[in-house]
């Protein structure tokens, strides 16, 4: 049985976290791995109803995602998280707790420039945020602390999702996380 | 790989849920199973900080335990829960969701009479509750709905923990949950 690990995506809204995570779930399932996707919305529904978007509430939400992810990983599963997770300190806290549990923690930064995301604006959220219609919108009216040394950095504003998925799989294979 | 399942303890405070759950964790680990114990206190710390003991908050807490337990079970682990979980409807909701996920759900009722628990009163909580010093104390000042058809019913006021553990292991073996 392989060692479980957490594949922790971080990045701005629209940077491709969920797209990459969804593709990897299919890929891992096809290869016979146990895999679970914890995205921001699902976890908010099941674990964090009532929490808002203040720093304290965001931190609590990300800590809960981290707790569930490492429970899964320490039982041999691959846990993929795809929440914005804007604060370095909380990501690092989850990393430390996961490693202490004997599971792996691989941070993937879905990196796209704010300009590219605003230009793309798939859901129209940046337009609203820039118009001041959304409070606490990460990258516009709320901070985003980019990871300095993520295990994997995907340039999602220039690379295709297929290229990024291939990059992630290559890293995981080269480092012995998948066979 | 065996099919994952949730071993869901329910019963009054002091009825032996945690004692039995702790013993089973050791037993399963020794046999090489992936096992995770979600007890009420740990989950309250990690998932439900801020929740109180009103019916609504208790229900939310038990739903969260159920969510995490079935994520673990559907990834092949044995998830043991040891919260009082006083309401039938929420236990049954978790059962249905776990079965829908393709994992097993085995309810264990740690059954002890209130008289026996009051007489034993290991933590001195019943004395306080009966004196009105603890609000929402299950079985005294808050309801407990006993399961009508649990898969396993352990008579913890008369049987020893060893007898109850043996009873649970015998059930799991006879029904193919463990080898």
* Å between A66 CA and nearest CA of chain B: 10
Give the number of C-alpha atoms closer than 13 A to the C-alpha of residue B114, restricted to the C-beta side.
Answer: 14
Q: Is A36 on the interface with B (CB under 8 A)?
A: yes
Q: Buried b / exposed e across B57-90, counting CB within 10 Å, b at 16+?
A: ebbbbbbbbbbbbbbbbbbbbbbbbbbbbbbeeb
Q: Which residue has the tokens 């044995």?
A: B78
Q: Which residues of chain B register pLDDT less than 70?
A: 1
Mutate to test the interface with B, among A2, A5, A47 (most CBs of B within 10 A): A47
How do residues A15-41 score in pLDDT, each as one tens digit?
999 999 999 999 999 999 999 999 877
* Interface predicted TM-score of the whole assembly (ipTM), two decimals: 0.90
Beta strands of chain A (E only): which ranges? 5-10, 35-39, 78-82, 104-111, 152-155
* Å between B33 CA and nearest CA of chain A: 9
Short-list A9, A7, A6, A5, CA closest to A109? A9
> What pLDDT, on a 0 to 100 scale, did the predictor assign at position B39?
83
Measured between beta carbons, the chain B residues lying within 8 angstroms of A74 are 36
Tell how far CA B107 is from the center of its chain. 8
pTM over 0.90: yes
Question: At CA B173, angle to CA B169 and CA B175, rounded to 5?
Answer: 120
Residues A64, B77: C-beta atoms closer than 8 Å = no
How do residues B56-67 score in pLDDT, each as one tens digit?
998 999 999 999
> What pLDDT, on a 0 to 100 scale, did the predictor assign at position B100?
98
* Percentage of chain A lying above the pLDDT 70 cut: 99
Of B46, B63, B76, the CB nearest to A34: B76
Question: Which residues are within 8 A (CB) of B147 and not within 5 positions of it... i.e. 6 or more apart?
Answer: B10, B88, B91, B107, B109
Question: At CA A54, angle to CA A52 and CA A59, rounded to 5?
Answer: 90
> What pLDDT, on a 0 to 100 scale, did the predictor assign at position A1?
56
* Å between B118 CA and nearest CA of chain A: 34
Cα nearest neighbour of B46 on chain A: A64
């Amino acid at each position: 049985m392989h060692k479980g690990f957490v594949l922790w995506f971080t990045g701005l809204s629209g940077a491709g976290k969920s797209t990459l995570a969804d593709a990897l779930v299919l890929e891992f399932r096809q290869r016979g791995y146990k895999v679970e996707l914890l995205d921001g919305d699902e976890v908010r529904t099941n674990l964090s109803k009532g929490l808002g978007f203040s720093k304290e509430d965001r931190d609590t939400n990300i800590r809960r995602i981290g707790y569930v992810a490492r429970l899964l990983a320490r039982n041999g599963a691959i846990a993929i998280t795809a929440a914005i997770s804007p604060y370095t300190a909380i990501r690092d806290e989850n990393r430390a707790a996961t490693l202490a549990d004997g599971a792996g923690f691989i941070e993937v930064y879905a990196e796209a420039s704010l300009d590219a995301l605003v230009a793309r604006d798939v859901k129209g959220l940046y337009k609203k945020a820039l118009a001041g219609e959304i409070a606490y919108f990460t990258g516009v009216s709320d901070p985003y602390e980019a990871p300095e040394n993520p295990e994997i950095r995907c340039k999602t504003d220039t690379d295709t999702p297929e290229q990024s998925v291939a990059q992630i799989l290559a890293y995981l294979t080269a480092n012995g996380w998948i066979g």
